[in-house]
A and B are shown apart, each in its own frame.
Chain A
Amino acid sequence: MNPMNSTMNALAALGRSVMYALARMGRMAIFGFSAFSHMVRPPYYPREFANALLNIGWLSLPVVGLTAVFTGGALALQIYSGGARFNAEAVVPQIVAIGMVRELGPVLVGLMIAARVTSSIAAEIATMKVTEQIDALVTLSTHPMKYLVAPRVLAALITVPVLVGVGDIIGIAGGYVVAVQNLGFNAAAYLQNTVDFLEINDVTSSLAKGAVFGVIAALMGCYYGMDSGRGAQGVGRATKGSVETAAILILAANFVLTGVFFSI
């Protein structure tokens, strides 16, 4: 085959997939705007919203707590042994606090929510799509964006920051327990150091990240669910795609938000 031709073909394929990705991003953005616009216009579905609060918020607490406590504990151990290399063992409380609140708390909670909530939303909505339940909703004069998407996105917007806050506290507590029990820190001094060191900006950035990650997680679950192909395979693809995309977008958003909050 002509080398010129095969290069052109490769370029064309690359171009096509870039175009495809851009088109998909555009559709996601439109979907996001539409979800928010349906949130503020009646009818509202309080029961759906309450269910979403329960599923996204309350039932995620165990996963979030366990993730945070182990991470906080490990962080304390790492900083202690790493800090020992230049006689800086004493910074454990400060670094645990800042590491958890600014970075690990929101990111890990965001990723756990992507694993737990995004996947279940995508699978549920995709199954509804495949079994014509979405069509049935429409014929019963109920808008799927209002009934299925808006309550979930709103619930995530509200609960994920709370989860992040809880995760931050539990993570710090994990570090505290390890430091006090195993590393010989003074309990009162540890807490004092933590409180003195954290700034309000650290906490607001943490919660703001949580809100953004929550919206990303719920939106991606809904988008991939509604976009699902036919059959069991369609449901599987939707679930996989939603978690992948949510995780990547969360990490990318974290990078951008960290820049916004702390680079100046």
Chain B
Amino acid sequence: MIRMTGVKKAFGDNRVLQGMDLHIPRGSSMVIIGGSGTGKSVALKCILGLIQPDAGTIMVDGKPAGKGDRDAFLARFGMLFQGGALFDSLPVWQNVAFRLLRGSLARPQDEAREVAIEKLRRVGLKPEVADLLPAELSGGMQKRVGLARAIAAEPEIIFFDEPTTGLDPIMAGVINDLIREIVTEMGATAMTITHDMTSVRAIADNVAMLHDGVIQWTGPVADMDNSGDPYLDQFIHGRAEGPIEAVR
């Protein structure tokens, strides 16, 4: 469904992606792991066209991403941003229902509000939260509102940038289950970035590790523990010693 080939991106002298190849089959859940600052968020933004790659191709459904009708293209995606990126001038429910209140997917206001409250419930938030402003929520609550917004219009392809960072273990479990459910029940294609190895095992069909601007290892989650790849081993066991330098 999504195929990245030789994707390169540099910011000035900072060569972030240096030929990234990755394939995500339809209806599967891909988890990207990798050190902080290796370009995982940049890779997601390249697929969405928020950042223009310097080289390489990105195909979605066999068609190059970023060509053709951009609205139709983006309407298929949902994205949870690492920082939440909630609109701070709008109350929570209007954030969640943003897509349902305007544009091609617009619905009546009370219907949109109902959908928003239902999605908030799925991420473990009470209906009372709906009328608060994002600034009145805790960090973890903001993250979950961002998640509710990403899934509100039931997109085919969903990107989650660190969905469980900043959540307590129980809530992290709820979110992991939710992501799994969206993939298995709704048949969505998911791409998740996470640093949490419990999440990786709970969410992933396939795992890819980004290191030094390329995919260092990729394969089914079951093969992750005996991959024989020293980089991956060091990463999943969180060892300070190994081929990956601790200071980057």
Given the interface contacts A45-B102, A141-B103, does A136 sit within 8 Å of B71 by beta carbon?
Answer: no
Q: Determine the chain B residues whose CB is within 8 A of the CB of A135 once the complex forms.
A: 45, 50, 81, 85
Q: Are A142 and B77 in contact (CB under 8 A)?
A: no
Main secondary structure of the interface of B (DSSP, over half): mixed
Q: Determine the chain A residues whose CB is within 8 A of the CB of B102 once the complex forms.
A: 43, 45, 142
Instruction: Indicate whether B74 reaches chain A with its CB closer than 8 angstroms.
Output: yes
* Number of A-B residue pairs with CB-CB distance less than 8 Å in the complex they form: 47
Instruction: Indicate whether A139 reaches chain B with its CB closer than 8 angstroms.
Output: yes
Instruction: Indicate whether B48 reaches chain A with its CB closer than 8 angstroms.
Output: yes
Of B75, B81, B103, B104, the residue contacting A136 (CB under 8 A) is: B81
Q: Are B50 and A141 in contact (CB under 8 A)?
A: no
Question: B204 → chain A, closest Cβ, in Å?
Answer: 23
Q: Which residues of A contact B (CB under 8 A)?
A: 43, 45, 128, 131-133, 135-142
Closest residue of chain B to A147, judged by CB?
B102
Given the interface contacts A131-B85, A132-B83, does A139 sit within 8 Å of B50 by beta carbon?
Answer: yes
Instruction: Determine the interface band of chain B, counting residues with CB < 8 A from chain A.
Output: 20 to 34
Given the interface contacts A45-B102, A141-B71, does A131 sit within 8 Å of B50 by beta carbon?
Answer: no
Question: B234 → chain A, closest Cβ, in Å?
Answer: 31
Q: Are A132 and B81 in contact (CB under 8 A)?
A: yes
Instruction: Indicate whether B86 reaches chain A with its CB closer than 8 angstroms.
Output: yes
Bound CA–CA A190/B75 (angstroms): 64
Question: A124 → chain B, closest Cβ, in Å?
Answer: 8
Bound CA–CA A128/B82 (angstroms): 14
Q: Determine the chain B residues whose CB is within 8 A of the CB of A141 once the complex forms.
A: 71, 74-75, 99, 103-104
Bound CA–CA A135/B45 (angstroms): 9
Bound CA–CA A141/B48 (angstroms): 11
Question: A95 → chain B, closest Cβ, in Å?
Answer: 45
Q: Shortest 8 CB-CB distances between A and B: which pairs? A: A132-B85, A136-B85, A139-B79, A141-B74, A135-B50, A132-B81, A141-B71, A140-B98
Given the interface contacts A131-B83, A131-B85, A132-B83, does A138 sit within 8 Å of B103 by beta carbon?
Answer: no
Of A43, A45, A132, A139, the residue contacting B74 (CB under 8 A) is: A139
Closest residue of chain B to A137, judged by CB?
B87
Question: A126 → chain B, closest Cβ, in Å?
Answer: 13
Q: Are B50 and A138 in contact (CB under 8 A)?
A: yes
Of A45, A133, A138, A142, the residue contacting B86 (CB under 8 A) is: A133
Q: Determine the chain A residues whose CB is within 8 A of the CB of B71 once the complex forms.
A: 141
Bound CA–CA A240/B99 (angstroms): 33
